[in-house]
Amino acid sequence: MTTSTTGYKVIGTRPLRHDGVDKVTGRALYGADVQMAGLLHGRILRSPIPHGLLRSLDASKALELPGVEAVVTCADLTDPGDRIAELGEGAVNLKHLSSNCLARGKVHYKGQAVAAVAAVSAHLAEEALKLIAVEYEGLPHVTDVRAAMQDGAPLLHDDLVTESLGKPTGKRSNIAKHIQFKKGDVAQGFQQAAVVIEREFHTATVHQGYIEPHNATALWNADGTVTIWCSTQGAFTVRAQVAELLGIPLSRIKVVPMEIGGGFGGKIRVYLEPVAAALSKKTGKPVKITMNRADVFEATGPTPGSYIKVKMGADKDGKLVAARATLAYEAGAFPGSPLGPGAMCIFACYDIPNVHIDGYDVVVNKPATSAYRAPGATNAAFASETVVDELCEHLKIDPLDFRIQNGAREGTRRADGPVFPRIGMVETAQTAKQHAHYTAPLGPNPKAQISNPKFEKAGDGANLGFEISGLRVPRRGRGVASGFWFNCGLKSSASASVNADGTVSLVEGSTDIGGSRTSIAMQLAESLGIRADDVRPAVGDTDTVGYTDVTGGSRVTFATGWAAYEAGQDIKRQMIARAALLWGVQPEAVAYEDGTLRCLSDDKKRLTFKELSEKLHATGGTIVGRASVDPPGVGGGFATHVVDVEVDPETGKVTVLRYTAVQDVGKAIHPSYVEGQMQGGVVQGIGWALNEEYIYNEQGVMTNASFLDYRMPTALDLPMIDTVLVEVANPGHPYGVRGVGEVPIVPPPAALANAIYQALGVRMDELPMSPGRVMAKLLAKQ
Amino acid sequence: MARVWIPPLLRDLTGGRETATVPGANVGELIEALEQQFPGVRGRLCPGGALRPGLAVIVDGQVGRLGLLETAGPDSEVHFLPAIAGG
C-alpha cells in the first residue's frame, strides 16, 4: 500500500552504503581505536553501594603509585548549581548531570562514578583505583517504583518535591513530577461501555545493549582548547554538556564523533567526556577512558522499569468509548524518565472520546535512565495493547478489525490534545490483515499433531497443552499489537561542494548509526538529479559543520535529509546561474531537469551536471550549497505487528516462530535500511519482552551485569523478521519521509503477550515474560 | 483569536475551563492574555520568562521551535505538552 510519490530515480533504490567497505573490512575508526603519542588511560572508581553519603576520599596512595599521573573528583568539575539548561534534545539539570559524571557528596546508585585515575596503562589505572580510600555512610535504598512512591520510603534527594506543572506541593518525595491528560468525560464514557477491562502491568529495567561500550579520549591543549573524540549520538550536545560541566566556552571545545557501534538513545548524555578532559587538563597529556560491559550496565542509562494500570471500555459494537491509565516510571537516580512520551503514546493508536491519564516520574536507587528507542512508548503499549486484546476476546472481534474500526486517523484528536494530520495507523492494520502471515493457518505443533490430528483452532485460550505419555507438548499462538511514536524534527546542517569531476562532497552533522550517511546522500542526489554514489558523504565534527542536533528521535533521515535537499536546491540555483553566464542568458531562461541544464531559448544548449562541474573553476570558482534547517512537518509513525510463538508448558520457554512487522514509513529513501531499522527494533523489543531485565539483590546491586547473564536475543533465537513497508507519505517533507527507527520496538512485547495468551490461555502482565514468569502464570492458573 | 487548550494541571487556575480563546500574535502574547483572565498562568507556564523546561508548545499540531516567539494565527489551536526526546 502506498500513497507516496513513486517517480524518483534515486529515492527508493538500494545503492551500496558509502561506508560499507570500511565497516566490513574493519577499517572504520571507533572511539576505542584512538591512539596518539603520550596517551594515558583512565579508569573510573565507582560506588559499591546503592545509596550513601560520601564522607571522605583520599587518593594520596594512588598518586604515589609509579605510572599514575592524576586523580580527579567532582572538585575538578565546575559546580554548576541547581540549574537547568537546554542541551540539544532536551532540558538537563546540570547539578544532576555533574553528579552523574562524578558524585558530589552523595551516591545514588551502585556504580555511580566517584573518582577517576589516569595512568600510563589501563591495568595500572585499575590497580590505582584500589588505593583510593573512600568512606561512605550507607543509607537505606529503594529500587522499585511503587515502593519509592510510598510515604516513608528512603528519599534520594533532600531537595526534591513533586512538580505538578508549576503548582507547589511542598512535599518532599521521590515523585519528581506528576503529569496529566484529559479528554472528554471518562466516567461517563465507561457508563456507555459493554465491556470494561482493567489490568495492572509491571516492566523491568532494560538496557539498550549497544555493542560498543562508551569511550572518550580528550586532549587539553596548552592554549586552553580541548579536543574530544568519542562515541556519541550528538557531537554538539557533547560540546554543550562538557562546556557547562567544565565551565569553559563552547568555542574552546571541538568534539569529533567517531563511528558509533549503536546508541538507541543511550549515547546522548555525557559520562566520560568531561572526566577525560579534566584528567587531560591535570596531566597535559591525552587521556582515553573506555567502559567495560559492567560499567555500561551499572553506570549508564537504561530505560525505566515501570508500573502501569490501564482500564479500557468498548460498547457492544466494539467501539472504544473510554480509557484510563496511570503510569509510574522509574527515573533512576535523577528525575527525567520518558514519562511524558509514554503517557502521550499509550492510547495514541486509537480514536477514544473519553480519556484520563496520570503519570508519575519517580527516582529510585538505580542508574539514571536514558532514552531508548521510542522512549516510554514500549512500556505503555505493553499495557494498553494487552488490554485491547482482551477487549477483542470478550467482544469476539478480530483484533485487526478492531484496530481498523477504532484506529486513529487524520482528524483524530489525541488524548493529549492535538489533532493527527495524515497518518497511517489504519493502513498498517489493513495491510497486516491482508498479509499472508495473518491469513496462514497457525499450524499445529508437530508433536501435538501426532497426538491429535484435529489440532484445535488456535485461540481457544483454555488448553494447557496436549499430553503425550504424561508430558505436555508445546502450544502455538498468534498475537498482534500496534504502536505509535511521534518522531522528531529539530535542527540539522549540511554543506555540499561540487567537485570538478561532477561528484559532490557532502558534510553533514548527524552521526551515522543506521546508514543515515547514505539516506541523506540519496536525498541530495535526488534533488540534483545525479547518482547516489556521485555524492561522497562525511560526518563533520563541531568545527566543520553547522549545528546539528542528536541522532535520535528518528529525525536524521527526515531533518538532515531535508538539510541535504535544501543544500541541493542551493547548488541548483548556483549551477543555473553559471549556465546562464556561459550561455549569455538570464537565469530564468535556464531549466534544471534530471541533472541536466537546458537553455529554454535554444534547445541545443545543454549541459549535464558533470559537464558544467568541469567548467566551474573557469566561471567563478567552485559551488558550495549549504543549509541549516529546523523543519516543521514531522510525521508520526505507526506499526502493527503479527507474531507466532510456540510455548513449552513444561519449561515456560517462548520460541518465536514467525514475525511480521508492518509499518507506515512515509517514503522509504533506502528500503534496505528501513527494513534494517524495523528488524532491529523488533529484535530489541523481543529481547525486552522475553528475557532482558536488570536483576537486583536485596543490597541494591545488579547481579547480572554481563552479556552472559543479561540475556539478549541472538540470531539463533530468532526467525527472519519479515517487514512490510506501508508508504503513507508525510505531507510535511519534500520526499514524504517519516522517521522509522523507533516505532518498531513498540509493539513486540504486547504482540508476544497476546500470542502467549492464545497459546496457553494465560495473560502475561509483567516483563520480561521469561520462562519462570510464564511457568508461574501457568501454575497459578492450574 | 487563538484557542488555547488549558493543561489539566493548570485548570485549578481557570475554574476547570478546558480551553480559552484569547488574542495574540505569538505564544508569548497568548500567555499574557491568559494571565489577564487567569492570574497565575504565566508563572506556571513561563517561570523566569521562558517556557518551563521540559514543556513544549504545539501550534496547529506542530511542535513550536521558537518558544514564546512561535507565531499563532487567528484560528490556531495551541497546546502545552511535555517535550519529546527520542532515542
How sure is the predictor about A85, in pLDDT bands with cuts at 50, 70 and 90? confident
Contact A341 B85 (CB under 8 A): yes
| Confidence check: pLDDT of A763 > 80 | yes
| Confidence check: pLDDT of B20 > 60 | yes
The letter for the amino acid at A546 is G
Rounded to the nearest angstrom, the gap between the alpha carbon of residue A51 and the centroid of all alpha carbons in its chain is: 28
pLDDT tens string A689-710: 999 999 999 999 999 999 999 9
Contact A265 B63 (CB under 8 A): no
**Burial per residue of A711-731, b for 16 or more beta-carbon CB atoms within 10 angstroms, e otherwise:** bbbeeeebeebbbbbbbbbbe
- Give the gap in angstroms from C-alpha A626 to the nearest C-alpha of chain B: 21
pLDDT tens string A39-77: 999 999 999 999 999 999 999 999 999 999 999 999 999
Residues of chain B positioned with their CB less than 8 A from the CB of A370 = 87
Closest to A180 (Cβ–Cβ): which among B9, B44, B65?
B9
| pLDDT on residue A445 | 62
- Give the gap in angstroms from C-alpha B25 to the nearest C-alpha of chain A: 19
Residues of chain A positioned with their CB less than 8 A from the CB of B87 = 208, 263-266, 370-375, 552-553, 742
Residues A230 and A280: beta-carbon distance below 8 Å = no
| Confidence check: pLDDT of A459 > 80 | no
Q: Which residue of B has its CA nearest to A263?
A: B87
- Cα distance from N-terminal residue to C-terminal residue, chain B: 37
Q: CATH: 3.30.365.10, 3.40.640.10, 3.60.21.10, 3.40.920.10. Which one for A421-487+635-781?
A: 3.30.365.10
In order of A153, A372, A414, A490, the CA distances from B64 in angstroms are 39, 24, 17, 10
CATH topology of domain A20-27+489-629: Aldehyde Oxidoreductase; domain 4 (3.30.365)
Contact A340 B5 (CB under 8 A): no
| pLDDT on residue A449 | 44
CB atoms within 10 A of CB A645: 28
Question: How far is it, in rounded angstroms, from Cα A426 to Cα A420?
Answer: 13
How sure is the predictor about A5, in pLDDT bands with cuts at 50, 70 and 90? low
Contact B87 A373 (CB under 8 A): yes
Task: Name the E strands within A81-160.
Answer: 84-87, 90-93, 106-107, 113-119, 133-138
Q: What is the dihedral of CA A129, A130, A135, A140, to 10 degrees?
A: 90
Comparing CA positions, the residue from A320, A661, A344 lying closest to residue A484 is A344
| Confidence check: pLDDT of A98 > 90 | yes
Residues of chain A positioned with their CB less than 8 A from the CB of B62 = 632-634
pLDDT, greater one: A448 or A477 = A477
Closest to A340 (Cβ–Cβ): which among B63, B79, B82?
B82
C-alpha cell at position A306: 515501570
Q: Which residue of B has its CA nearest to A635?
A: B62
- Give the gap in angstroms from C-alpha A167 to the nearest C-alpha of chain B: 7
- Kindly list the domain boundaries of chain B, sorted by start residue: 2-82
Closest to A552 (Cβ–Cβ): which among B18, B54, B86?
B86
Reduced to 3 states (helix: H, G, I; strand: E, B; else coil), residue A730 is: coil
Comparing CA positions, the residue from A138, A161, A129 lying closest to residue A61 is A129
How sure is the predictor about A3, in pLDDT bands with cuts at 50, 70 and 90? low
**Percent of chain A surpassing pLDDT 70:** 96
| pLDDT on residue A246 | 97
- CB proximity list for A128: less than 8 A, separation 6 or greater: A43, A62, A65, A68, A71, A117, A119
Residues of chain A positioned with their CB less than 8 A from the CB of B77 = 418-419
| pLDDT on residue B38 | 98
- CB proximity list for A648: less than 8 A, separation 6 or greater: A474, A655
Contact B44 A371 (CB under 8 A): no
| Confidence check: pLDDT of A448 > 70 | no
| Confidence check: pLDDT of A460 > 60 | no
Closest to B79 (Cβ–Cβ): which among A179, A418, A632?
A418
Among B6, B38, B81, the strongest candidate for a mutation testing the A interface, having the largest count of A CBs within 10 A, is B81
| pLDDT on residue A10 | 98
| Confidence check: pLDDT of A586 > 80 | yes
Question: How far is it, in rounded angstroms, from Cα A728 to Cα A737?
Answer: 9
CB atoms within 10 A of CB A447: 14
C-alpha cell at position A384: 494498553
| pLDDT on residue A453 | 35
CATH topology of domain B2-82: Ubiquitin-like (UB roll) (3.10.20)
Contact B9 A164 (CB under 8 A): yes
Q: Which residue of A has its CA nearest to B65?
A: A630
Count of A-B CB contacts under 8 Å: 107
| Confidence check: pLDDT of A270 > 70 | yes
- Give the gap in angstroms from C-alpha B67 to the nearest C-alpha of chain A: 12
Cβ of A338 under 8 Å from any chain B Cβ? yes
Closest to A165 (Cβ–Cβ): which among B5, B7, B79?
B7
pLDDT tens string A306-345: 999 999 999 999 999 999 999 999 999 999 999 999 999 9
**Percent of chain A surpassing pLDDT 90:** 92
Task: Name the E strands within A204-315.
Answer: 215-220, 226-230, 253-257, 287-290, 306-314
For residue A659, the 8-state DSSP code is E
Sort residue B68 into left (φ over 0), alpha (ψ -120 to 50) or beta. alpha
- Give the gap in angstroms from C-alpha A597 to the nearest C-alpha of chain B: 37
Question: How far is it, in rounded angstroms, from Cα A98 to Cα A83?
Answer: 11
| pLDDT on residue A468 | 46
Contact A89 B8 (CB under 8 A): no
Estimate the share of chain A in helix, then strand, then coil, as percent rounded to the nearest 5.
30, 25, 40
Comparing CA positions, the residue from A714, A712, A760 lying closest to residue A478 is A760
**Chain B positions touching chain A (beta carbons under 8 Å):** 5, 7-10, 12, 18, 43-45, 47, 52-54, 58, 61-63, 65, 77, 79, 81-87
Q: Which residue of A has its CA nearest to B64?
A: A632
Contact A374 B86 (CB under 8 A): yes
- Give the gap in angstroms from C-alpha A44 to the nearest C-alpha of chain B: 26
| pLDDT on residue A171 | 87
Q: Which residue of B has its CA nearest to A486?
A: B84
In order of A12, A268, A332, A459, A548, the CA distances from A553 in angstroms are 22, 11, 21, 37, 13
Among A83, A84, A416, A485, the strongest candidate for a mutation testing the B interface, having the largest count of B CBs within 10 A, is A416
| A34-139+208-299: CATH number | 3.90.1170.50
C-alpha cell at position A532: 547516489
- Give the gap in angstroms from C-alpha A417 to the nearest C-alpha of chain B: 7
- Give the gap in angstroms from C-alpha A475 to the nearest C-alpha of chain B: 36
Residues of chain A positioned with their CB less than 8 A from the CB of B65 = 489, 630, 632
| A145-207+302-378: CATH number | 3.30.365.10
Closest to B85 (Cβ–Cβ): which among A344, A371, A419?
A371
- Kindly list the domain boundaries of chain A, sorted by start residue: 20-27+489-629, 34-139+208-299, 145-207+302-378, 421-487+635-781
Please state at what angle helix A771-781 crosses helix A748-760, rounded to 10 degrees.
40
The alpha-helical segments, DSSP class H, found in A547-643 are 561-583, 609-613
Task: Give φ, ψ of A318 to 5 degrees.
Answer: 85, 15
Stretch 83-142 of chain A: residues touching chain B, C-beta under 8 Å: 84, 86, 89-91
Closest to B85 (Cβ–Cβ): which among A182, A375, A420?
A375
Question: How far is it, in rounded angstroms, from Cα A550 to Cα A510?
Answer: 7
Contact B82 A419 (CB under 8 A): no
pLDDT tens string B34-72: 999 999 999 999 998 999 999 999 999 999 999 999 999
- Strands, sheet with B55-59, edge to edge from the N-terminal-most edge strand: B19-22, B2-5, B77-82, B55-59, B62-63
Comparing CA positions, the residue from A642, A661, A677 lying closest to residue A752 is A642
The letter for the amino acid at A126 is E
pLDDT tens string A413-431: 999 999 999 999 999 999 9
Contact A417 B44 (CB under 8 A): no
Q: Which of A383-387, A441-445, A647-651, A777-781 is the most confident on average?
A: A383-387
In order of A179, A259, B26, the CA distances from A512 in angstroms are 34, 7, 36
Contact B5 A375 (CB under 8 A): no
Residues of chain B positioned with their CB less than 8 A from the CB of A485 = 86
What is the average pLDDT value for chain A, to the nearest integer?
A: 95
A20-27+489-629 matches A34-139+208-299 in fold: no
| pLDDT on residue A300 | 98
Q: What is the mean pLDDT of residues A563-580?
A: 98
Task: Give φ, ψ of A91 to 5 degrees.
Answer: -80, 140
Question: How far is it, in rounded angstroms, from Cα A758 to Cα A347?
Answer: 23
User: DSSP for A162-215?
Assistant: EEETTEEEEEE-SEEEEEEEEES-HHHHHHT-SEEEEEEEEE--B----SSPPE
Contact A632 B62 (CB under 8 A): yes
| Confidence check: pLDDT of A458 > 70 | no
C-alpha cell at position A179: 503529569
Cβ of A414 under 8 Å from any chain B Cβ? no
Estimate the share of chain B in helix, then strand, then coil, as percent rounded to the nearest 5.
30, 25, 45
Residues of chain B positioned with their CB less than 8 A from the CB of A742 = 86-87
pLDDT tens string A232-259: 999 999 999 999 999 999 999 999 999 9
- Give the gap in angstroms from C-alpha A282 to the nearest C-alpha of chain B: 34
Cβ of A636 under 8 Å from any chain B Cβ? no
Q: What is the mean pLDDT of residues A762-768?
A: 98
- CB proximity list for A377: less than 8 A, separation 6 or greater: A341, A342, A345, A346, A483, A484, A485, A742, A743, A746
CB atoms within 10 A of CB A119: 27
Residues facing A244 on adjacent strands: none
| pLDDT on residue A91 | 85
Closest to A340 (Cβ–Cβ): which among B53, B77, B84?
B84
